[in-house]
Amino acid sequence: MLAEKTKNKFIVDLERIIGKAAVLHSVEDIYSYANDSNCKISNQEKPMAIVLPSTIEEVQSIVKYCYEKEIPIVARGAGTNHVGGCVAKEGGIIIHFSRMNKILEISRKNLTAKVQPGVVVGDVQSAVERKGLFYPPDPSNLKVSTIGGALALSSGGPRGLKYGTAKDYVLNLKVVLSDGSLITTGSDCSKSVTGYNLTQLFIGSEGTLGIIVEATLKLIPKPKTSKILLAYFDTIEDASCAVNTVLEAGIVPSVIDLLDKFTLQTIEDFRPSGLITNKEAMLFIELDGDESAIAQCEADILKLLSNAQFQVVQTKAQAEVFWTARRASFAATSKLKGNVITEDVVVPRTKIPVLIKEIKKINEKYSLTACIMGHAGDGNIHPNYALDFDDEDEMNRFYLAKDELFKVAVNLGGTLSGEHGIGFEKAKYLSFAVDKNVIKISKQIKQIFDPKNILNPGKLFIE
């Protein structure tokens, strides 16, 4: 941490660059930006200041200054990350994009939207849908999650099975590099094979290679309608097998999410919505497209999954109730013990029953409480752990359980994250999940783009 005199000079310099009102450095401000959604990150450094740029040029000026002084920089959106990805682990500054939150352009003819990094994902979805268009990536926290953060993690959410994740809907980026220079990574055209695909390199890089300051998003026509089916099963295995039964029949729902019995009970206690809570598992299935096609898919699913008990949602109002319930799982879990940590692993679909069985064994071994749910269509499972952060013994047991969870997922042919990223919480597991030569090359890429290691340092890799 800087000495007080040097720190004061640092604050004065930042205020000169961007204006006094755009530099936050009080104890209260620092505390507010010190953590991510896990609320308690061990052994972290706190940022010296939070800066709030309004333009790309201001971002460039800030980054140039930090490059000269070798001051760490963390780009931050809504702070909803779960793995310490947006905390200032090595001090320095946080660039917060709340003032760069505009939708700059929506083009119906080109099927594109040009946006700033601080715009909320849900606001983008609403704006383009009013024009008959569709931006499918749909993280559960879409009402607060920002585009910049979603692209930094290539977040997907429930619609990943049918529509893909954030990486599939980015045509072009403007990125500020570690020395303050600005690059455009691609083009606004729907196709481009002109040089290396730098756009995809930055997506999912967790702010370690550059700072996204503008994005051109690909849009598609909005589906004409949608329908929700809730399918309840007597066993987790039956629910998991049902996913492949549906897909093998040539039906690709926009969403197939799995929630276990404890999750259903926890959500219903938190926000009564009419969910059935006496079955071991439920599949949340959403169909979208043409009305006649949906009707046929619905009939086929009801026939294919004859061992399930169904709730067929008939109205938009009822659909909104169930979607709200589905998205409330994180908040509902937090009511059990006061705090919640959501983990994030991915396995092949056929391995989901084994993974869930192992998760329950691990939780029993370490006496932990978890609601198990996830995007069963693409194998992305999220155990939501109810925890008391002030209970040191429980937290130690949780970290031991987490070690085993990641090893189980990788041993089943899976990986460490589908949408939350690595941050520093999962960095020590990277060598277990990724080939050592890939890690070596990744570090070389980091060195090329960030030779002074000032962009989100201490993330992804154990140095």
Rounded to 10 deg, the angle between the 352-365 and 392-411 helix axes is: 150
Buried b (16+ CB within 10 A) or exposed e, 351-383: bbbbbbebbbebbeebebbbbbbbbbbbbbbbb
Average pLDDT for the chain:
92
Range in 38-42, 65-69, 73-77, 280-284 the model is least confident about:
38-42
Strands 369-375 and 73-76 come out as unpaired
Residues 6+ apart with CB under 8 A from 415: 345, 346, 409, 433
Q: Which of helix, strand or coil describes residue 391?
A: coil
pLDDT class for 287, splitting at 50, 70, 90? very high
Closest by Cα among 165, 283, 291 to 218: 165
The mean per-residue pLDDT over the stretch 160-182 comes to 95
Query: Is the separation of the CB atoms in 88 and 34 below 8 Å?
Result: yes
Query: Is the separation of the CB atoms in 163 and 137 below 8 Å?
Result: yes
pLDDT at 316 > cutoff 70? yes
The mean per-residue pLDDT over the stretch 106-126 comes to 97
pLDDT at 89 > cutoff 60? yes
Q: How far apart are CA 51 and CA 41, in angstroms?
A: 22
The mean per-residue pLDDT over the stretch 421-443 comes to 91
Looking at residue 34, what is its pLDDT? 85
Looking at residue 140, what is its pLDDT? 75
pLDDT at 387 > cutoff 80? yes
Q: How far apart are CA 51 and CA 54, in angstroms?
A: 10
For the stretch 353-375, pLDDT in tens is 999 999 999 999 999 999 999 99
List own/partner pairs for 402-406 with CB under 8 A and 24 or more apart.
402/343, 403/429, 404/362, 405/343, 405/345, 405/358, 405/359, 405/362, 406/345, 406/432, 406/433
* Residue type (1 letter), 461: F
pLDDT at 165 > cutoff 70? yes
Q: How far apart are CA 209 and CA 54, in angstroms?
A: 21
The mean per-residue pLDDT over the stretch 96-100 comes to 97
The mean per-residue pLDDT over the stretch 255-283 comes to 95
Looking at residue 386, what is its pLDDT? 95
pLDDT at 239 > cutoff 70? yes
Highest mean pLDDT among 36-40, 257-261, 326-330, 333-337 belongs to 257-261
pLDDT class for 4, splitting at 50, 70, 90? low
Looking at residue 385, what is its pLDDT? 95
- Where do the H-state alpha helices sit in 305-435? 316-327, 329-337, 352-365, 392-411, 430-433
The mean per-residue pLDDT over the stretch 261-290 comes to 95
Looking at residue 7, what is its pLDDT? 65
Looking at residue 46, what is its pLDDT? 85
Range in 34-38, 46-50, 320-324 the model is least confident about:
34-38
Looking at residue 40, what is its pLDDT? 53
Q: How far apart are CA 307 and CA 324, in angstroms?
A: 26
Looking at residue 93, what is its pLDDT? 96
pLDDT class for 41, splitting at 50, 70, 90? very low
pLDDT class for 156, splitting at 50, 70, 90? confident
The mean per-residue pLDDT over the stretch 246-275 comes to 95
H helix and E strand count, the chain: 16, 19
pLDDT at 61 > cutoff 50? yes
- H or E segment and range at residue 207: none
Q: How far apart are CA 410 and CA 416, in angstroms?
A: 7
pLDDT at 37 > cutoff 90? no
pLDDT at 202 > cutoff 60? yes
Backbone phi, then psi, for 62, in 5-degree steps? -65, -45
